[in-house]
Chain A
Amino acid sequence: MTWPMRGAPGTLAAPAVGLLAILAVPALLQGATLHHVQIIAASPTEAARWYQRHLDCEAIEGRRDAADCRGLELAFVAQPTRGSTQGTGLNHIAFSYAQLESKMGELERVGVRGSGVRLQRFEDGSTLRSLPGLFLHGFVFDPWGTRIELVEDPRRLGFHHVHLSATSPETTLDWYRRILGGEPAALPSAERGLRFGDRWLLASRHAGSAAPAPTRSRAIAHLAFEVPDVDAAAERLHEAGIELEVGPSIPANARSDAKRAIMVGPDGVTVALVERGFAGVERPVLTGEPAWRAPEAYRPPKTPWGEPDLQGIWTGNAAHGIPLERPEALADIEALTPEQAEARRERGTLGSIWGYEREWRDTSLGFDKMTPSTQVAMIFDPPDGRLPPLTEEGKRLAREARIERQRIASRPAAGPEDLSPYVRCITRGLPGMMMPGIYNNGLQIVQGSGFVAIQKEMIHETRIVPTTPRERVGPDLRTWLGDPLGRWEHDTLVVETERFNGRSPFRGSSDRMRLTERFTRAGPDKLVYEFTVDDPAVWMRPWSARFAFDLDGEQYELVEYACHEGNYGMFNILSGARARDREAAEAAK
């Protein structure tokens, strides 16, 4: 905890007399004010939305990468992150609410699920506590690791302060005051700080024996002050023996001609100086052309025995997040912009981040080398991108499947049979096993003369596809992954599979599904995967979808899926179910 627990009630605006009275020398740079705080976030547009949605910030005209957080500009940049603000010299930023209990209640209700809001609980499990003589306060984290304090200080609503964590708060505050000015002041409880206009910079003693970690590459990357003239400021700093890390310049792709300079302040806190009107930089426009363009223009390499060579380790990471069906709101859109694609991916991450942290995945922006696909939807036939209407039997099967799902969901799993073939380490079925997930998307293709072996890391299925003519197995022999027959059509591998057992359906498919897959190398690093589902029992007409795999052998290796040995998940689900049974039995007594 950073706040001292003593002191009498008073007004924040009252400067603390005496505490910092020795610091009466004029500052090196006159007229500096707090300009913005830079936060590293995987998707700047999503971060700006998140702060608007959850912390009452507002959009800033012409800036999709920033938000006006009730008096403080937060500027978001997409960069790899190395962790949260905790442990650095810039511990948190704080906002004040008139009704903090209701605000915290709102954040608690929204919860980490689907929003990425993380509450930091005190030792007794509460999210708020009262600081005697001060105010009620609590902490939350944004999904990118920024620690945020929420306080109930009715005298000062909105952005409240930036809180430094210093080896020596006196020395640190003296540095800021000597260089940037600010009015020595303190909270009534003697928390030390400086006032820049109506904004506060507070400093507390850094906890622990180690020095504060540098802010570079952490959630809050820097603190920026506005000065009238960055060139003049640099000169004065140089005369005072303070070196800049980045000299005065207009950054590449800047939105204004305001200059910026960067230095490292005490406790590893990066401090930027900007001129009036500084408005960040435009990100370079990435091209996001659909993956399946012009496959006919590419001639793939051949195996020594003369067949097209599809071998290698491929991943579907870039395709992760493309919905199977076209959303109705996107009926007329050919492709997303790269920014929209990035936002779609980040929303997917925020929707599930409570269970699986960013670095657990292969699809997290900021870690993933793949630029997310701009493809709107996987289904391209029917042309509206929607699944065709169901047949009468299809409707009956869907109804039965729904009832069965409800039956299973209505009580804790009785045994493994109540869990999906996926959780039971059997298979995700076809075409399910080809679909990109958040991780373990590795697809290894190995060929021999007349055979193609297709292995997927999750969950260990290996399909052996013969490519020479042969007879199908008999109609009574039905298997999880069916009976595949392959052939080469020009440079495309075509695989027709039938005789499924129907126990791992895809979107309601039946055991009568006939699946036709087409694997085409559209470039040295691109494998287009197209599939047609023909299941007359379920759908009124066949439908087709596609997405692309990227060659990824440089960084990706398939790890053995010793699925049962590693399946603690199954154990935990069933032992959790028995615990729920016991709770129910206790309650019934």
Chain B
Amino acid sequence: MSHRIPGRSTVAALAKRAACLAALLVAPELGGHHAFSSEFDAEKPVRLRGRITKMEWINPHAWMHIEVTAADGKTESWMIEAGPPGALVRRGWRKDSVKPGVEVLVEGYRAIDGSNKANGRDVTLPDGTRLFAGSSGTGAPYDERR
């Protein structure tokens, strides 16, 4: 069923050893401005599809306000935590790319207090593209210009 590659068990063993060494190389990741776990509930994933109503471009995190229409037709307002404003701009987000009315798909985790707030771990356009890819600005990761 799977095609055999000569000497793979040795390779796998070597790879395993390399992975062990690699684990020792792991550096602690200096976290963001606050602890995710005391603000959002990793047990409460949310998936929201809504339209942007407002964007707050503030440090340490921008907040995106969206209006979500539930199956019964009722609308709900949600606040979505995004990245820091400077980083978003450097990634190609522009005022135009998050203007009111733009439809977004948000996947993230809900606030512990149960309010309509979530961190926006993934914010994409409905076709799955990253939000910046749809922007009218440079719209591209920095690397493409390097």
What is the minimal beta-carbon distance from A49 to any residue of chain B, in angstroms?
A: 6
A399 sits at the interface (CB 8 A): no
B45 sits at the interface (CB 8 A): yes
CB-based nearest B residue for A212: B127
CB-based nearest B residue for A560: B59
Cα A121 to Cα B111 in complex, Å, equals 19
Given pairs A555-B90, A559-B86, 7 additional interface contacts (CB within 8 A): A60-B8, A213-B127, A355-B40, A357-B121, A359-B83, A436-B30, A566-B61
Q: A439-B32, A439-B87 are in contact. Are A357 and B25 (CB under 8 A)?
A: no
For residues 357 through 398 of chain A, which have their beta carbon under 8 Å from a beta carbon of chain B?
Answer: 357, 359-362, 366-369
Our pick among B57, B59, B84, B113 for the contact of A576 (Cβ within 8 Å) is B113
What is the minimal beta-carbon distance from B23 to any residue of chain A, in angstroms?
A: 8
> B-facing mask of A52-74, CB < 8 A → 1, else 0?
11000011110000001011000
**A-side interface residues toward B, CB under 8 Å?**
49, 52-53, 58-61, 68, 70-71, 80-88, 111, 113, 121, 156-159, 198, 208, 210, 213, 218, 320-323, 327-330, 336, 340, 343-344, 347-349, 351-352, 354-357, 359-362, 366-369, 412-413, 422-423, 435-440, 442, 457-459, 555-563, 565-570, 572-573, 575-580
- A576 and B111 contact, CB distance less than 8 A: yes
Residues of A within 8 A of B8 (CB): 58-61, 68
Our pick among A328, A343, A357 for the contact of B122 (Cβ within 8 Å) is A357
B34 sits at the interface (CB 8 A): yes
Size category, B interface: 35 or more
A-B pairs, top 8 by smallest CB distance, nearest first, are A360-B83, A87-B128, A576-B112, A87-B127, A86-B128, A566-B58, A569-B34, A329-B24
Our pick among A59, A340, A356, A442 for the contact of B15 (Cβ within 8 Å) is A59
B144 sits at the interface (CB 8 A): yes
Query: Can you list 16 A-B pairs with a CB-CB distance of less than 8 A?
Result: A70-B1, A159-B2, A343-B25, A352-B31, A356-B36, A357-B123, A359-B130, A360-B83, A369-B142, A438-B31, A439-B86, A440-B87, A458-B84, A556-B90, A568-B79, A576-B111
CB-based nearest A residue for B124: A83
> A-facing mask of B10-54, CB < 8 A → 1, else 0?
011011000101101111111111111011111001010000000
- A348 and B34 contact, CB distance less than 8 A: no
What is the minimal beta-carbon distance from B101 to any residue of chain A, in angstroms?
A: 17
Residues of A within 8 A of B41 (CB): 576
> A-facing mask of B95-116, CB < 8 A → 1, else 0?
0000000000000000111110
> A-facing mask of B106-146, CB < 8 A → 1, else 0?
00000111110101111110111110110000001111101
